[in-house]
Structure 1
Amino acid sequence: MAGYADDLALAHVLADSADTISMARFRALDLRVESKPDLTPVSDADTAVEKAIRATLARARPRDGVLGEEFGRSAAAAGPGSRYWVIDPIDGTKNFVRGVPIWATLIALMEGDTPVVGLVSAPALGRRWWAGRGLGAFAGKNQHSATRINVSSVRRMTDASFCYASLNGWAEIGRLDQMMDILLGVWRSRAYGDFYGYMLLAEGALDAMAEPELSLWDMAALIPIVTEAGGRITDLDGRPTADKSSVIGTNGLLHESVLTALARRS
């Protein structure tokens, strides 16, 4: 466990550097924004943050691999049992470029296919969330001002606060009717999107979150935080999430109900 504590401390150092860079570019009048081949936006802040994190990891963890949204996978970030860091320099780039403060840097450490450390830093919100396997989940302004967090104890869908993203995405995978039935049947529904819904789940502020498709860098940091807070994350079939998979996060108590509600209909 001590090794994960050291890695978690390094993740905070990486996040401190990332926050300095990203906040300096947030709402900057000269922010440069381009479109990637998939037509999603990328700003000069995205690339600068990832470069800075990679440079620090090259010095501090030269044997570890790196997988980042903007610059791909290093040779060391492959193979069973490999240790590698997964970086989303700015999750919520569309918010970032429009001046909406709900965006974050996501940092995870993987051992093989398993995320063992996760950190989410949202400097425009003045908040950070983190966890290491066996170490619990915490939130606060920084690691020196932290509170342990836990998921809710809500057991019934009719009492649940449910978070979702991209109704268009659910339509694309043929589950829009199922999602609409959930939204009409729960106590409350909101679409916070990106990392934020999962962090509210980990804090117990809402009870379930679902998205139709995410990449590994979108979800790797979220998994340790939600699970160490007592929650559960799987794909639509109840399996561990993988790259480009659907994601369901719950307080655990509601998980089977959400899986059943979102199941494909014959």
Structure 2
Amino acid sequence: MTATNALVPAGSNALTLGFSGSLGNLDAYISAVNRLPMLTHEEEVALGKNLKEKNDLKAAEVLVTSHLRLVVSIARGYLGYGLPHGDLIQEGNIGLMKAVKRFDPDQGVRLVSYAMHWIKAEIHEYILKNWRLVKVATTKAQRKLFFNLRSHKQGLDAMSPKQIDELAKALDVKREEVIEMETRLSGRDIALEAPSDEEDDKFSPIAYLSSDNMEPTKVLEAEQVVRLQSEGLETALSKLDARSRRIVEARWLANDDGSGATLHTLAEEFGVSAERIRQIEAAALKKMKGALAAYM
């Protein structure tokens, strides 16, 4: 089986579905799916009921294959993200099959309208998992920005302040997020390894990206931990009264192995109940957490 044959849903008979010969390349696949017959509304409803009521897999197969051209059309709109068209189509086909599985013909909605959501959702997930901007698009609003920014940009020029403000307002994101996303979208990929074996090539990106410890976010995280353990912790402790500080230090900072003083030991020291020590400790930790927020 060729890579393009993998685009055809598993279990389908290529000949009975209108495919003739070997689908040796993507163009042949696209040409073949565009020749597949489209279903009438009545045929779609009948097939949908057979699938829903009788678990008729042949009906599911026909519903899927008759909408493969829809996947090709939708996938073409995501070519600007630098991922292979064939891979986008394959992911879209997965979304189409999920839509067919959940399709309810009794709702009166055509499968094409229902399937578009599932196809796009699957392609979106694929892009976000595989593209180099995945860490940027983490919230729903940022994902919307990620997939709408290209259509709002006019050519290769940077967006004007007015365009940035308008887009930020329309998508309900901060203007700083629009600027950051545009900057990353405008960036060019570089080769990790240099093309030759010369001595200078030892300084190609692969040389300093080989260790996770040198990854920028790891370095920043390590620096932040050190800062929290020194300056941040001392500042937070200074916000406590003498008794609260003594309890926190005895409970959490006395030994490196975490085996601090017990509530009952401290209760005897201060002449109060263990429950009162627990309350003081909880209040102190809450206060420290607020002080440490400035260092996060």
Normalised by the length of structure 2, the TM-score is 0.23
* Bigger relative CO (Cα 8 Å, ≥ 6 apart): 1
Structure showing the higher helix proportion among its residues: 2
* Higher CA-based Rg: 2
Normalised by the length of structure 1, the TM-score is 0.25
